[in-house]
Amino acid sequence: MIAARSVNHHDLSAHMPGMSTPQGKKRRADRTFRDEQLDMGFFIALLVVHLPPGKVLLSLDRTNWEHGETPINFLVLGAVVHGFTLPLIWVPLDESGNSHTYARMWLVLKLLRALPAKRWLGLVADREFIGAEWFRFLRRQGIKRAIRIRHSDMLDDMSGKEWFEHVQHGHFHEIGEKVFVFGELMRVVATRSPVGDLVIIATDFSAQKTWKLYKQRWSIECTFSSFKKRGLDLERTGMTERSRLQRLFGLVTLAWMFCLRLGVWLSQTWPIPVLKHGRRAVSLVRHGAQHLVDALRWKPQQFMAVLEVLIQAFCPPGAAESKVVTY
Average pLDDT over residues 114-121: 98
Mean pLDDT of 209-220: 96
What does the DSSP 8-state code read for residue 312?
S
Best CA proximity match to 256, nearest among 280, 279, 281, 224? 224
* Rounded mean pLDDT, 293-316: 88
Residue-level pLDDT at 70: 84
Residues 122 and 180 placed together within one structural domain of the fold: yes
Sequence-distant (6+) residues with CB within 8 A of 264 are 82, 284, 288, 314, 315, 321
CATH number assigned to the domain comprising residue 166: 3.90.350.10
Is the same domain home to 100 and 174? yes
Whether residues 6 and 65 fall in one domain: no
Domain that holds residue 195: 40-226
Mean pLDDT of the chain: 90
pLDDT over 60 at 169, yes or no: yes
Residue 110 in domain: yes
Does residue 61 share a domain with residue 15?
no
- Judged by DSSP in three states, 73 sits in strand
For 26-53, write each residue's pLDDT tens digit.
888 888 888 899 999 999 999 999 999 9
* Nearest of 235, 220, 257 to residue 43 by alpha carbon: 257
Q: For residue 322, name the pLDDT band (cuts at 50, 70, 90).
A: low
Looking at 171, 198, 226, the residue that finishes a domain is 226
Asked if residue 235 is part of any domain, the answer here is: no
Q: Between 321 and 88, whose confidence is greater?
A: 88
Do 116 and 22 lie in one domain? The reply is no
DSSP 299: -
Q: Which of 174, 193, 226 is the last residue of a domain?
A: 226
Number of structural domains the chain divides into: 2
